[in-house]
A and B are shown apart, each in its own frame.
Chain A
């Protein structure tokens, strides 16, 4: 570090003055602040640049109608802070319990101003180093062999002040509004400036371009006062409750769907905006036509000479003239400030609004440049929550951990447990972990087995896209096989055209768990770390390549996977069979018997009883175990009673049968909850 600083100051002397920091973060939005928090906690040299005078400038303007659609659940019936984060989509991660969003707002869908206030508090309470009123307008590279990644990042702000950093974290979000150019697009108002006062729309006929939450939010606001609203977009509407993707249309905004389908004049249309043209007539009404008609015409000929679709097709859908056309087409990443040498390229297809990055969130073009926050959503676009606060707060932490290992020799945090704690560790995590839950199929817990499977190392929330590079990225060794714990929805359950409410959508039997549709934990077992090639060749729909064994924990209505027989037992059998050992718990008395009658002991006895930590168990418990036929009660044995060994086994089976029964009668309880 000292060397880097020295090298940095040398450069500064030779050229203009550069202010050096190890880490530069662009943007003091949620992701930038979250990154700053981790850097601060780790004692790193960093600075955050924010173009506005306060953090979260995007939220100062957006959403225009001020209602956040990220939930702020006050009550879950649980006090588990980690679990509760699953239902808190606004808080950033910190050790400070004051910085929980529910302390800022009681609204389930809070106001955006509250978010701004929260972010201000987050930055100030945690004393994060943010340099406000600094808009980075240019980023370029300076080659230097001594730099961490072979180059420094040189940043220039609006006042031509220069900054130099070893690592650049881009948390600038996507804030450049998407614009479509077509003849007449000058008549279109943008979402960013359109009036949010419904009175301005009284008695008007409105056309909205776009079909995202901003479009519907805009429509929702004026639904009651307009003549009618039409909405046009290339793709059909995707409802988030059908796709399980929070970025799709949320139910809170979908009032227009209701009025459309309940024949109240509003409606949705599909069509490519590129083909559109808008003509303003003398009365100021806006007419929809097609670019095709304009191209064949002499535009100067005046408006009356332009063919309108209804001239040829007299039932053309949008033949009625509009008073206003509003564009709500979302935003894209600002690529303009990066020098070509950084090769910040837009993604392909539907992720072209995001820069190209690797699953490790590092830019594909430049080593040492990481993209955080909304701009990093290309990794899990339309799949998981990486574009939203409740998702990227975890991916940001993951990036921080990767960097700690890469540049500071701090391996990925892990805990080593004895093997007897394996099922417990998994159960604990799948029941409370928020990162796994929010970033399902993106972040995974990794369990690295130690030799002879007597112990294991637990790593939390590692990005599975770079599973093959685990050893170099985390500084941990995967010598004897590994488990990967992730959460998944059923493979073809989610989707825009799927009926997610069909009968029998839920699986209740542990042995059919692989058919679970709702979000449920899945554990992959690999005898060795998958290679990069295997990762590359995996099926595109699969987060991971073919494992050596796989286990699904059956979906649960309460997302509470602690049922001893339906959840924990099959999981234990799975890990037992992967490891080839017996992971049952035994009372001290059983271990005592094994110690005298077997040369080898099960792990529970080895790691517990033999270390003087046997589970003695109360009288009642041992009695229950004996009744279940799982523990023999020798108390009443006398010497003449030399029972043949089978009588015990017989009673055991009998008891097992008996206790298998009681669940069954309940099947007749028919409840019409889902009918």
Chain B
């Protein structure tokens, strides 16, 4: 960005150089002339000079003199020499004699007087330069007072040349000067029109303008053909300075649409040089005319914001998707050209405008970061969401009354008191533990009054021996002890719901042995056992004939592993065969009722190893078209397949659900996970969409996300309806590489968010032996390190107290109460204390 800026500043400097070198002029500053005669005789034809006459005795208009002297140099750039003429005492000529002439400055071209200025109009350099140029450029810069005047000029110019119309709140201002300076350069190319009338400003600008700030319009009259229509206008969006005007005129002067027939990577245009992006409209021979119109339309919209080029694909061999129609080249060096498929011109415009916005924001952020880095203040600000949340919550007293506190003394005796003792092992200083403790207290409230269940906790910071004896090495850990004997360690999500469901499920034997056909049927309906009827889980029933003991044992073993996680039952009575037949499988088999569904699925059991069984059960528990939530995502991610996910604002419609089900059911060997996300239930989904798309797509939106390979995100065309057929053909195109990803997941590594304190570096100056060449180099101490370098020890220590006990230092800013007791008084700290080494 800055490179571009440099480039066009240098071109401007060059331009000014040309300006200043056009007229020959002498020395850089104020000329002195001894007398009017002398001055007038020396005037050359065509040479412009600003003269003022001073009586040699009275030092009259001193402040004015200072201003005019300092403007001499600026005026010299425009070929105007500033001359101070001394009036001899006896002189009574036209310029020296009259009293009031001495309060004026006179502008001469050759010996002809062009204009005389009262000195109060020349109050500073800006006003001097503005007014002098205004006088000199009388023909180039028209001053208008009414709309009619402006329209007249505009009409005259139509078809001939362009017009620059500027409003300045007053003449003699910096903006006025900028306009005049620009007119000096561009006056021969464009017609400059100036006004100070606020009324004119109001009719020329669209919205409510601020009359106190200047305003500049570029009116494209050269191309205007319709005399009835006003010329197209492009306003300068930035504050008026010579640079911004120059930049604007330069952009307006550039061709509206550049036709390009070479590699876009190599193209450089005025826009890129000025730090603006360049939009390529990719064109083909067949569509050239339409593309040209599109390009022009876009170019008008983006005038002053981006350049537009028309790139003919027939002439350039582009290695991009055939469907791409737009390319964006940013001025940043090394940024690759983006090829996009856009649907309408608005998207092109938002693309450019948002890029600018985003870039601006990034720049701001970067600057802020730079500042932060300088101050290094952020390092001690907590950026761990869990730690911060817990410490913000620490003042709240947790309702832990229902939870028994266990200690080394009462641990074992308490375990035997209840049928099931739930123990949460945690550390009271650790944030994650404390976060879980909050959920645990909610569990306690939920399960209050559940018979046979005792909730308890052990603070491992108080009882490390107990925790290590129970083999708890990580916090938090939750265990359920059955009658003080065996225990099951919880391995699921630390949410209130998940925890309570685990505790409830753990009460029931896993697998639960069902004695009668009625129980088995009731179990599948979720009605048996009654203590679980209020909880909706998928019910899983293993059906075994008496002969299949191997499978049954594996199933029981699997039940031990899955205890608390899965609701498992088993049936191996004599009529097991008839039960399984009912669901058209033969034992050993699994019968499965999903939560919220009445249908029973029958699955034959073929593998008999415990591990396979566990894996198979876990797999069977997965839904074929699940609603993805924060808590179930990991189960589906473990499959390692891409996601076909439908983001929906609420519940999905019957139609969508049916189509998606058709899609998944039709393909038994699933190569992807079809799922949907309810943004109402999982609002973080908004965050996902925001990351994928710069503008929120209309919902529902169907996406293909390669979560595991490559990370591309594809968006199902919004104009197509979500049907099995459409999706299938889209997926085929996807697979064939014909679609362009809307987004790609960031590959960024998780680096340390902020640097650490570099104590090694801090220690080095005062502890030289730490340096790599320790031991051999004599100790060098920084000269200002308090505590004395040459005088060792005693002085160091004795000096400090005396310095510190001064009253001002007590309570100096930025010192907290975080230290040890001697710092209770929050005294300012003195630097290095280890200098004695």
Contact = CB atoms under 8 A, between A and B. Distances in A.
B142 interface: no
B20 to A, nearest CB: 44
Contact of A503 (B392, B749, B757, B800): B800
Contact of A514 (B383, B474, B746, B763): B763
Contacts of A569: 380, 382, 384, 387
A598 interface: yes
Nearest to A570: B757
Contacts of A628: 382, 385, 388-389, 392
Contact of B429 (A82, A431, A539, A618): A431
A417 B465 contact: no
A537 B776 CA distance: 11
Nearest to A499: B797
B810 A634 contact: no
Interface string B457-475: 0000111110000000111
A673 B388 contact: no
Given A539-B775, A616-B495, A550 B759 contact: yes
A549 B763 CA distance: 11
A674 B685 contact: no
B482 interface: no
B711 A582 contact: no
Interface stretch (B125-133, B248-256, B819-827): B819-827
A617 B384 contact: no
Interface in A509-553: 509-515, 517-518, 537-539, 541-542, 546-547, 549-552
A interface residue count range (under 10 / 10 to 19 / 20 to 34 / 35 or more) = 35 or more
Nearest to A637: B686
Given A497-B794, A573-B756, A670 B825 contact: yes
A596 B357 contact: no
A602 B385 CA distance: 13
B639 interface: no
A504 interface: yes
A625 B388 contact: yes
B384 A572 contact: yes
B750 A582 contact: yes
Contact of B820 (A556, A645, A649, A653): A556
Contacts of B816: 508-509, 663-664, 666-667
Nearest to A643: B690
Interface string B509-529: 000000000000000000000
Contacts of B494: 588, 613-617
Interface in B460-504: 461-465, 473-475, 491-496, 498
A508 B818 CA distance: 6
Contacts of B462: 78-80
Contact of B683 (A552, A576, A637): A637
A218 B168 CA distance: 99
B750 A581 contact: yes
A242 to B, nearest CB: 11
B393 A620 contact: yes
B830 A613 contact: no
Given A513-B759, A610-B634, A667-B816, A621 B438 contact: yes
A542 B769 contact: yes
Contact of B687 (A505, A558, A593): A593
B836 interface: yes
Interface string B310-347: 00000000000000000000000000000000000000
A624 interface: yes
Contacts of B748: 598, 600
Interface stretch (B69-77, B99-107, B200-208, B691-699): B691-699
Contacts of A431: 429, 461
B24 interface: no
Contacts of A621: 386, 389-390, 393, 435, 438
Contact of A587 (B380, B386, B475, B634): B386
B630 A573 contact: no
Contacts of A542: 769-770
Interface in B741-783: 745-760, 762-763, 767, 769-772, 774-775
26 contacts: A78-B462, A424-B474, A427-B429, A491-B834, A499-B797, A506-B822, A508-B829, A509-B829, A514-B762, A514-B834, A555-B820, A564-B387, A568-B387, A569-B380, A572-B384, A573-B757, A595-B637, A596-B688, A600-B748, A615-B436, A628-B382, A645-B361, A649-B365, A653-B368, A664-B814, A670-B826
Contacts of A568: 387
Contact of B837 (A514, A541, A565): A541
A660 B381 contact: yes
Contact of A490 (B430, B465, B755, B833): B833
Nearest to B762: A514
A556 B473 CA distance: 26
A601 interface: yes
Contact of B696 (A493, A622, A639, A667): A639
Interface string A597-617: 111111100000111111111
A672 B430 CA distance: 33
Contacts of B427: 424, 428
A3 interface: no
Given A424-B475, A614-B631, A674 B821 contact: yes
B817 A674 contact: no
A175 interface: no
Contacts of B745: 596-599
A495 B683 CA distance: 62
Contacts of B408: 79, 81
A563 interface: yes
A617 B439 contact: yes
Given A600-B749, A601-B750, A670 B811 contact: yes
A624 B473 contact: no
Nearest to A541: B837
A618 B389 CA distance: 10
Contacts of A16: none
Nearest to A504: B804
B605 interface: no
Contact of A612 (B429, B432, B493, B813): B493
B702 to A, nearest CB: 15
Nearest to B434: A621
Interface in B366-397: 368, 376, 378-393, 396
A586 B750 contact: no
Given A612-B634, A624-B393, A667-B813, A576 B753 contact: yes
A487 to B, nearest CB: 15
A237 B744 CA distance: 73
B747 A613 contact: no
Given A503-B801, A552-B759, A624 B753 contact: no
Contact of B798 (A490, A502, A649): A502
Contacts of A579: 752
A264 interface: no
A634 B684 contact: yes
A638 to B, nearest CB: 9
Contacts of B812: 667
Contact of B686 (A415, A581, A634): A634
Contact of A644 (B361, B392, B798): B361
Contacts of A593: 684, 687-688, 691
Interface-central residue, A656, A667, A672, by most chain B CB under 10 Å = A667
Contacts of B691: 593, 596-597
B156 to A, nearest CB: 45
Interface string A144-171: 0000000000000000000000000000
B641 interface: no
A350 interface: no
Contacts of B438: 617-618, 620-621
Contacts of B436: 615
B50 to A, nearest CB: 50
B752 A576 contact: yes
B622 to A, nearest CB: 13
A576 B384 CA distance: 13
